[in-house]
Chain A
Amino acid sequence: MPDLTREETQSLIEEVLEVYPEKAKEIRAKHLTVNDHEVEQSKKCITSNRKSVPGTMTIRGCAYAGSKGVVWGPIKDMIHISHGPVGCGQYSRAGRRNYYVGTTGINTFGTMNFTSDFQEKDIVFGGDKKLAKLIDEIETLFPLNKGITVQSECPIGLIGDDIEAVSKAKGAEYNKTIVPVRCEGFRGVSQSLGHHIANDAVRDWALGKRDGDDTFKSTPYDVAILGDYNIGGDAWSSRILLEEMGLRVVAQWSGDGTIAEMELTPKVKLNLLHCYRSMNYISRHMEEKYGIPWIEYNFFGPTKIEESLRKIADFFDDKIKEGAERVIAKYKGEYQAVIDKYRPRLEGKRVMLYVGGLRPRHVIGAYEDLGMEVVGTGYEFGHNDDYDRTIKEMGNATLIYDDVTGYEFEEFVKKVKPDLIGSGIKEKYIFQKMGIPFRQMHSWDYSGPYHGYDGFAIFARDMDMTLNNPCWSNITPPWRKSEDTQALAAE
């Protein structure tokens, strides 16, 4: 199917909106747009970070998911208590695949679920005593933990428990960092506020712990990786590139990260920010308080990696600049071989994305390196600044959708007919049953890493494996195939 023109895309949006009642139509219309390179600021063409329309099927998560699942959860040597009913933590346990090294249950706790398992009586009489007891139990059973966070679920805010008081008292008793996080699910419109709340909690309860302590020997080449959650090993395949060019990575936020790394981050020279959405707040704070500059980078696909390595190197002396060139040259043969192998198999294929914080724009480069084209993209919980950055990356007249509803997404796909869809697990089976190849782009469909040169090879293989899988031609059973579709298949 040929690319849609601007008018066709616009009329497609209008057609899809037809079924809504008047008011919902008006609201949703503001969240859907046709990309226009002329537009400087996204807020002129798209509204984002607004409450979802009641009655529509949104794909978003909650603030607790943003804090526990995204920002705090991967800090491996702390215990993160899902404070409230058991479900929130249990149904999301270990689903994100942030890899880490360590012995689970002894000195690392990433894939475990700790919960206060609220019952009716805790709602009625308050759960503070239970929380205190829980912290005592944790200290007895898991003495090697380096700290605790209390991640509030919805009921905590509703019944007005004082988790701050408990955390302070217990923190003093055990001489440990205990962080209360007010990330109740009902706050804000999506997981995005949870990121912000978690960032603020880091700022208020953890970041400044080593201010005035100079025992850490810093070097002029110290950097921190921010907003990389080590999904399928992403941060590792990024880290080796930085280290090879001569930098020293002091901290990983927060994939495979530790509380000690967090506390040392104020001593670095430059913060490298991968996921802007979830960690820009703390980067801005560190810039203001400690004078640490931050830059955004993108480690998806060789073109963007090359750009990013040079951009990072520009902050340092010639030694690092040479280092960057050396790294680029070293991997050239490797990634060129990947492109040579897969590009012919993937050339010209069209992709629609609908993901979370950074991928709707960051992976575009990687697809383009493989000769593919992204024809529609959108964020679950992006803000205007995300769309500002997206407009430039996307082709003209392509579709952009914010907080797309289940219905809209399906309709768009039916009309745009992409060759591949990249979205979340909730969307996966709908589209696969429609006969469209699908990759789950939140946790890489049990694969990964996708960052860095090593990741690109895996990315390319996965896309090929999905798209060119012979099963897609067998979706229609033989007895349903009419003469002409059979003829088509034979071509």
Chain B
Amino acid sequence: MPSVMIRKNENGELLFYVAKKDLEDVIVSIETDTQESWGGSIIIGDGSTWYIDPISPPPTFPTTLRFKRA
């Protein structure tokens, strides 16, 4: 369960950053991204999928969250 920092890049896309793994990539899809909650399966630019139980209300970015590898 790595902790992942999520922040916006210059183009307003969300970046998924795992310091320990040296991994930084844009988030390409989020399962749940509504007014009420944010999370579920998340796919990032390199094709890998990560999971987090949906959080409500949605977090404000940047923030650090703990993800599971899906």
A-B contact count (CB 8 A): 26
Residue contact A288 to B22, C-beta cutoff 8 Å: no
Interface size of A by Cβ–Cβ distance < 8 Å? 12
Contact of A196 among B19, B23, B46, B63 (CB under 8 A): B19
- Using CB atoms, name the residue of chain A closest to B17: A284
Q: Which residues of A contact B56 (CB under 8 A)?
A: none
A residues near B25, Cβ cutoff 8 Å = 41
Interface membership of B64, Cβ < 8 A: yes
Report B16 CB to chain A, min CB distance, Å.
13
Q: A154 to chain B: closest CB distance in Å?
A: 22
Mind listing 6 A-B residue pairs with CB under 8 Å? A41-B46, A284-B7, A288-B63, A384-B23, A385-B22, A385-B24
Q: Does A439 lie at the interface of the complex (its beta carbon under 8 Å from any beta carbon of B)? A: no
Q: Given A41-B46, A385-B24 in contact, is the A288-B62 Cβ separation under 8 Å?
A: yes
Mark B residues whose CB is within 8 Å of A.
5, 7, 10, 17, 19, 22-25, 45-46, 62-64
Q: Are B46 and A383 in contact (CB under 8 A)?
A: no
Whether A114 sits at the interface, judged by CB under 8 Å, is no
Q: Is A49 an interface residue (CB 8 A)?
A: yes
Q: List residues of chain A with CB within 8 A of the CB of B19.
A: 196, 281, 284
Whether A284 lies near B22 (C-beta < 8 A) is: no
CB <8 Å contact, A287 and B22 = no
- Which chain B residue lies CB-closest to A288? B62
Q: Which positions 229-270 of chain A face chain B at CB distance < 8 Å? A: none
Query: CB distance A284 to B62 under 8 Å?
Result: yes
Q: How far does the Cβ of A2 sit from chain B's closest Cβ, in whole Å?
A: 37
Residues of B within 8 A of A295 (CB): 10
- Most chain-B Cβ atoms within 10 A of its Cβ — which of A49, A196, A385? A385
Q: Is the CB of A287 within 8 A of B62?
A: yes
Closest 4 A/B residue pairs (Cβ)? A288-B62, A383-B22, A287-B62, A385-B24
Knowing A383-B22, A385-B24, the reply to whether A288 touches B5 (Cβ < 8 A) is yes
Residue in A closest to B25 when the chains form the complex, CB atoms: A41
